Structure 1
């Protein structure tokens, strides 16, 4: 609406006056846009003065005033930003380890002027990779490969402690540090696989030996049982002649039951049923 009213006003003015109004209006808009600036949520701003340099004041969210043409706002996001950093390090037992670490970092708001003076606006790209690499190599060198696997949480905490101290030197704070991936060199992986295969082979041989021992015991027990049974049968036959007759009857009953359960009819003589055994 304001633009339309302004254009309508210009249409009723002489050409020279129109030109002046356009020029003055453009200058006014330019000056206005270079006088006021806003800071978005989750951000802070500092002012760089072309005559005196960076000011020490930090500006919060909202609208602010600056000297046009002389001062330039520099915005920083103060919310925690994630970074994934990869490092190849050596362990205490001289093995190569590949580590991927995730960190959440943010600048300390009151120290933004100092951060800008020392490392610039892109502090996270300049500082964090080198600081993280140094911390990872320092901590990983204290452990051997097996300890990295069994004490992963402890390793992550130590990296965090070292990183916090180093980052604080650059006025950066860390909200979280996580060790998300650890992989080992080809030689170590091959050695682990060979060890697993050897362990499985040992277990297999152990099982075969134990099975053979059990089979041996079973054969001995069965032989002892059969010998004892034969001994008892011999004793029974000597002490009681009718024992053999009882065994004949039991055998005949078993044969008769088997024949009766069959689908075909079978006629057998008594000799096949062991009923004609004679005593000698």
Structure 2
């Protein structure tokens, strides 16, 4: 089973005997809340899920978007109609970061049938709805651990002994600019691999062979020990998804740069070189 689905196949499945639960996870870093956009029009039957409050814990020592409390996350998914055996499709406005965060969390928590709408809402050619559904309560019970997760020490070790990819923009990796966190730069040993290079101009993922070539050039091949971080663990989930499409399992450092850079005892490297 692939981790993504195109709009035509989603339309077909939604009209079929076993339609997926649809989660609208529209969110944009520094942008307006996704709820008004959802209310203005969403995929028919989709339930809105808020990244900041339902897919994250409050900001703090764990970073700007720490993983949510497992019980709270499970309750949010059940309210949205997610069952342990129901297929789920998540989408956002087209950037893919928020949808990938929801995909990663559900997969990490043990759900086996989760896909991201490739290209997001922008790829959808069918009608939109302003009606807010009231789904039947689901029975999904999270069991964390199905996908690998890194803490700060694990990320540092992987940067030394394996391959740690930095999914932020290259200028943030180099430390030329840092618009959000305490200091710019990167984790020693990490390689720059911006998430934006995983997709074409239309926001859809590059073909699998192209993704595999891209990651292979960075050393991310089958059998390699690979991890990913970003600013706060959101766009890094998109890179983990891209790596999965390329056949390369990867761990997520959920605290990411927002957690690492807030700890003044952690070393920081600036410039284009990993070390």
Shorter-chain TM-score: which interval? under 0.3
The normalised TM-score by structure 1 is 0.23
Query: TM-score, normalized by length of structure 2?
Result: 0.24
Q: Which has the higher contact order (CA 8 A, sep 6+)?
A: 2
* Rg comparison, structure with higher value: 1
Q: Hey, which of these two has a bigger chunk of helix by percent?
A: 1
